[in-house]
Amino acid sequence: MDRTAVGTRLAAGTPKFPGAQYIAGELREGTAEEEFDVVDPADGSLVQRVRLASAEDVDAAVAAARQALPEWSGATPGARSEALSRLSALLAERAGDLAAVESAQTGKPIKLSTEFDVPGTVDNAAFFAGAARNLEGKAAGEYSGDHTSYVRREAVGVVGSIAPWNYPLQMAAWKILPAIAAGNTIVLKPAELTPLTSLMFAQACTDAGIPDGVVNIVTGAGRTAGEHLVSHPGVAMVSFTGSTGVGKRVAELATRTVKRTHLELGGKAPFVVFDDADLDAAVHGAVAASLINSGQDCTAATRAYVQRPLYDAFVAGVAELYGQVRLGNPYHPQTDLGPLVSHTQRDRVAGFVDRARAAGAVIVTGGEAPETGHDGTDLRPGAYYRPTLITGVGQDAEVVQSEIFGPVLVVLPFDSDDEGLRLANDTPYGLAASAWTRDVHRSLRATRDLQAGCVWINDHIPIISEMPHGGYKSSGYGKDMSQYSLDEYTQVKHVMYDTTAVVRKDWHRTIFGDR
Ligand code: NAD
């Protein structure tokens, strides 16, 4: 695969990471028996072979995080804020390298890494630099009449975080930044497929002056290193982003040691188009929101419900635009859609489509792997899949109910507003949803009735550092980003001072003596 389009250090073939564990401020080799190949899904070539983390590596990372905790949690908010500001500036300086490595390990188009993943991460760091100084609580008060009460908002301790492969850099940022802004220290386990930009992020933390041990990365397998981290008695809180199935297992393990949990899980976002919507805007929105990151986005539009009068035109419009999307080499600056993250993921997506086809669904367009890219690249060695539009299925079809995590959109018609909203809510998930209408009453009703942690009106996908991201229902609980995430990563202590200096206090009579 020609990576020279972005002229990176990767393209020059320089060695990148002398180890995939970042513990106490330095990169180390893992000590597990197993090695893991980080592969470029654009052509199957090796990006980096890493030795995975053993249980001992996880222990070492937790020990480093525990050692760093008193100093970091005791630092002034101003000092933490300054370090995060320096981090934001360093990440911006390293934007080119970060984007290139992110594209190499995930296959995402360089356009997306450069214009979305990296700037989003830089902005998040800048946001948490400010938020670190704005931890709030209730005002002190004489609530009992005899005492002054106030709250202290304190760090929880060592956070054990586990992240997925779809947005590795942003997930590292979403996990690490609020945790350390609030004074915690952290051990993050990225997905084995995509550890490299998490390591670069941790290195940038050290270079920004964040003390050794505050941010640690262990690159290990979920069943071993992941479970060891989640069960570790030295970890106070678990923050997990990934599939609902693994999230349940993580919650189960964390419960055994009474850890606080924060779970950001799967999604199956509905995209509801009412009959007064701007059809062209809805069609463009559906194409972008279903294909972003090759559909490997927990909030991607996956089920479009279109009110009957617009249904045929919507399907025709999306099919036409899907045909214009430029599929190819992710390092080509004009590529819109790259491969999926791995051949395994591509085959999983193809399996969903093949089963739908066999059950009688209409594959309006796509439903196969492409051979040649828009730039003439041979795509056969890569994990590519064409944008796929499916109709002719019922609400209970597998492709409507299950998370596919690929460039696949299913469209279903509806008649009444009640029906459209009911169908939109009819899956176990509740991460995100959108409604398309020009009617203020319909839009207000949709924002009230759609059961999801985020509802967009006349758009679908944008996120912003100031606003919370997190699920309802089986999409989990807790919030990433925004001031709300600081609630996850802090605990509130009630402090109560006697203000009377009375020896025999009135309430003592409940234990001894009379009034
Ligand atoms: P996954 O659940 O397979 O893996 C996520 C992480 O968990 C990986 O680091 C993996 O190594 C680890 N893991 C696996 N088994 C484990 C175990 N038994 N114990 C501890 N850790 C374990 O998910 P994925 O395939 O990497 O990512 C895709 C999923 O992530 C999708 O379901 C997507 O919706 C979800 N996701 C959700 C959000 C959100 O904000 N809600 C964001 C991004 C991705």
Instruction: Classify strands 35-40 and 45-51 as parallel, antiparallel or unpaired.
Output: antiparallel
CATH numbers and ranges of domains, the chain: 33-41+52-265+475-493 (3.40.605.10), 269-457 (3.40.309.10)
pLDDT number for residue 2: 56
Output DSSP code: residue 490: E
Residue nearest to atom 32 of ligand 1 (CA): 243
* Single-letter amino acid, residue 33: E
3-state secondary structure 32-57: CCCEEEEEECCCCEEEEEEECCCHHH
pLDDT number for residue 18: 84
pLDDT number for residue 1: 55
Ligand 1 near 41 CB (within 6 A):
no
Task: Judge whether 58 and 187 are in contact, CB under 8 Å.
Answer: yes
Torsional sign, CA 430, 297, 191, 223: positive
**N residues, the chain:** 515
Backbone angles phi, psi at 314, to 5 degrees: -65, -50
pLDDT below 70 — which residues of the chain? 1-16, 515
pLDDT number for residue 6: 45
Task: Judge whether 410 and 366 are in contact, CB under 8 Å.
Answer: no
Distance, CA of 98 to CA of 85 (rounded, Å): 18
Output DSSP code: residue 138: P
Task: Judge whether 6 and 331 are in contact, CB under 8 Å.
Answer: yes
Backbone angles phi, psi at 364, to 5 degrees: -65, -40
pLDDT number for residue 328: 96
Ligand 1 near 173 CB (within 6 A):
no
pLDDT tens track for 446-501: 999 999 999 999 999 999 999 999 999 999 999 999 999 999 999 999 999 999 99
Task: Judge whether 290 and 267 are in contact, CB under 8 Å.
Answer: no
Torsion of CA 356, 362, 365, 368, to 10 degrees: 30
Which of 422, 412, 426, 394 has its CA nearest to residue 286?
412
Q: Which atom of ligand 1 is nearest to the CA of 475?
A: 41
Which of 317, 266, 260 has its CA nearest to residue 452?
266
**Residue 431 Cα, ligand 1 centroid: separation in angstroms?**
15
- DSSP codes joined into one string, 236-277: -EEEEES-HHHHHHHHHHHHHTT-EEEEE----EEEEE-TTS
Distance, CA of 15 to CA of 251 (rounded, Å): 38
Q: Quickly tell me which residue has 């509802």 as its tokens.
A: 455
**Residue 242 Cα, ligand 1 centroid: separation in angstroms?**
2
Q: Beta partners for 494?
A: 151
pLDDT tens track for 374-409: 999 999 999 999 999 999 999 999 999 999 999 999
Task: Judge whether 263 and 275 are in contact, CB under 8 Å.
Answer: no
pLDDT number for residue 13: 45
* Single-letter amino acid, residue 21: Q
Distance, CA of 178 to CA of 182 (rounded, Å): 6
Question: Terminus-to-terminus CA distance in the chain, angstroms?
Answer: 86
Residue nearest to atom 40 of ligand 1 (CA): 264
Backbone angles phi, psi at 43, to 5 degrees: -150, 5
Residue nearest to atom 20 of ligand 1 (CA): 226
